[in-house]
């Protein structure tokens, strides 16, 4: 049975999995992400962990390694151009890992990996044209056209979180630009929005989170509703613009905020429907992602098995 080793590199942990050709997760494990010396020890940590955890697997069964990285990948698929959380700049990770393990390696941006995972085994099964959007501490995403992830000329395809938003506010994004979508539509952005509303109404709230907001929403809190309405309007306009530009079959929403379920998705569907091109209206879907934290590791494996990167 053919198998692939999937590696999902995060800022605090590196998740590993051994995955079969039919998408079954045979084994999972993880290690802490070592970012000392600008992440210089991390490739060796990955190699050592793979060796230690695959000793019982026949070498000829493992056909390759798929690695998801929190940053852009060069167009030749060999280098991690930048991974701020890891301290990496132009690291030839594919060559390093492949040489040490004597296996072919595929590198992916982590959002693109999750996108492929949802296409293979998740909410986008049987779709070859769709957009995947993650709403977490930031806003990420991936775009699939004709079954292939769009990496872009500058390795920045799918950077949905950096669509500019018109606002009187001045929110500085981690990318350095002002008023990117993720400064409003992420979990952090949503909290900033309601914090501003609280301040305007002389209400003190300490350590308020997006979870608190949705709990208050259920209780009929007008400030929570106002914050959600503003967030949904901005996000819905951006999604409608993407749909109008690409004419995709559907939009998949993942990330921590998607756990709010229909409390978020129902008003978002309404907002998007108001602004899509009439010919498209009613002919696409918008739904929650299925795979959660497994999306990335499954996408890493898919890229090795089927080469659609």
pLDDT tens-place string over residues 166-215: 999 999 998 899 999 999 999 999 999 999 999 999 998 888 999 999 99
pLDDT at 59: 64
pLDDT at 85: 85
pLDDT tens-place string over residues 101-124: 999 999 999 999 999 999 999 999
CB atoms within 10 A of CB 208: 16
What pTM, to 2 d.p., does this model score? 0.90
User: Regarding the domain delimited by 124-289, which CATH topology (the fold level of the hierarchy) does it fall under?
Assistant: Nucleotidyltransferase; domain 5 (3.30.420)
pLDDT tens-place string over residues 216-258: 999 999 999 999 999 999 999 999 999 999 999 999 999 989 9
Q: What percent of the chain has pLDDT over 90?
A: 85
> Do the domains spanning 3-116+300-306 and 124-289 agree at the CATH topology level?
yes
Evaluate whether 58 touches 82 at the Cβ level (below 8 Å): no
Q: Which CATH architecture has domain 3-116+300-306?
A: 2-Layer Sandwich (3.30)
In sequence order, the 6+-apart residues with CB closer than 8 A to the CB of 173 are 162, 179, 180, 182, 183
């Amino acid at each position: 049975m053919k198998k692939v080793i999937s590696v999902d590199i995060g800022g605090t942990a590196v998740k590993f999995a051994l995955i079969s050709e039919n998408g079954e997760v045979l084994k999972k494990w993880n290690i802490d992400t070592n970012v000392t010396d600008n992440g210089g020890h991390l490739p060796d940590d990955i190699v050592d962990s793979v060796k230690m955890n695959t000793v019982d697997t026949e070498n000829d069964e493992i056909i390759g390694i798929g690695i998801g990285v929190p940053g852009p990948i060069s167009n030749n698929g060999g280098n991690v151009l930048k991974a701020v959380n890891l301290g990496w700049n132009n690291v030839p990770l594919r060559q390093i890992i492949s040489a040490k393990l004597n296996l072919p390696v595929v590198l992916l941006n982590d959002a693109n990996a999750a996108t492929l995972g949802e296409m293979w085994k998740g909410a986008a099964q049987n779709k070859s044209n769709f957009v995947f959007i993650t709403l977490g501490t930031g806003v990420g995403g991936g775009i699939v056209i004709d079954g292939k992830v769009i990496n872009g000329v500058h390795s920045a395809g799918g950077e949905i979180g950096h669509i500019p938003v018109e606002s009187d506010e001045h929110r500085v994004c981690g990318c350095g630009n002002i008023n990117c979508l993720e400064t409003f539509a992420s979990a952090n952005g949503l909290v900033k929005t309601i914090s501003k509303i609280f301040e305007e109404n002389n209400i003190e709230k300490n350590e308020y989170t997006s979870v608190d907001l949705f709990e208050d929403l259920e209780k009929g809190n007008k400030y929570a509703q106002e914050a959600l309405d503003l967030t949904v309007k901005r996000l819905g306009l951006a999604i409608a613009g993407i749909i109008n530009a690409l004419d995709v079959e559907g939009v998949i929403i993942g990330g921590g905020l998607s756990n709010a379920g229909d409390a978020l998705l129902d008003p978002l569907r309404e907002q998007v429907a108001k602004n899509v091109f009439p010919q498209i209206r009613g002919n696409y879907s918008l739904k929650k992602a299925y795979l959660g934290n497994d999306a990335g590791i499954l996408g890493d494996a898919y890229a090795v098995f089927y080469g659609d990167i």
